[in-house]
């Protein structure tokens, strides 16, 4: 089984309900076990700041699915929850599921970049991830807890 970590995000509609449904869908994936899910955190919008705050969380799964198959399943779960990938980066969304880490795999393929690019610089990713896996190593970067230490987390608040 491979340990994989998934970032959850959203800022449209009932995001906590979308997260709950997404975690049920993650647990139902073939050859996959849901291990743990972080609390939900309110975070400021990033990239395009002229939108509602986001809610972010992280999930840990163990799977025998290949990285691409897991990513495809995540994209399918997003679509089931109304996510439209219309080309707008960092825009509002009902549900965003990002494959952050897949074991210690490092790859840069079309549509599949592991570890997730720039995750090591984004507090909205690292705060929930640190809650469930503070000592996990981001390949080429270091431990999650160490990556989070220098980042500004003042505007991030736990919701659950």
Residue with tokens 């919008």: 45
Determine whether 76 is an active site residue: no
Among the listed residues 3, 79, 89, 96, the single catalytic one is 96
| Cα–Cα distance for residue pair 137/19, rounded to 1 Å | 25
Among the listed residues 3, 36, 83, 108, the single catalytic one is 83
Determine whether 108 is an active site residue: no
**CB neighbours (10 Å) of residue 158?**
12
Determine whether 98 is an active site residue: yes
Among the listed residues 42, 76, 86, 93, the single catalytic one is 93
- Angle CA(22)–CA(99)–CA(151) in degrees, nearest 5? 105
Determine whether 96 is an active site residue: yes
Among the listed residues 3, 36, 85, 98, the single catalytic one is 98
| Cα–Cα distance for residue pair 100/4, rounded to 1 Å | 7
65: which DSSP letter?
S
Catalytic residues: 83, 93, 96, 98
């Amino acid at each position: 089984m491979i340990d994989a970590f998934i970032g959850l995000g959203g800022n449209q509609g009932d995001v906590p309900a979308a997260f709950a449904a997404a975690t049920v869908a993650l647990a139902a994936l073939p050859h996959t076990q849901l291990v743990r899910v972080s609390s939900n955190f309110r975070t400021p919008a990033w990239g395009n700041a002229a939108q509602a705050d986001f809610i972010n969380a992280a999930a840990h799964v163990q799977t025998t699915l290949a990285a691409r198959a897991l990513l495809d399943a995540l994209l399918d779960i997003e679509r089931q929850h109304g996510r439209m990938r219309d080309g707008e980066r960092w825009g509002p969304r009902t549900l965003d599921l990002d494959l952050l880490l897949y074991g210690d795999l490092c790859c840069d393929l079309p549509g599949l970049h592991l570890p997730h690019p720039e995750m090591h610089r984004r507090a909205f990713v690292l705060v929930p991830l640190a809650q469930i896996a503070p000592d996990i190593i981001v390949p080429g970067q270091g431990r999650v807890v160490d990556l989070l230490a220098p980042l500004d987390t003042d505007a991030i608040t736990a919701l659950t």
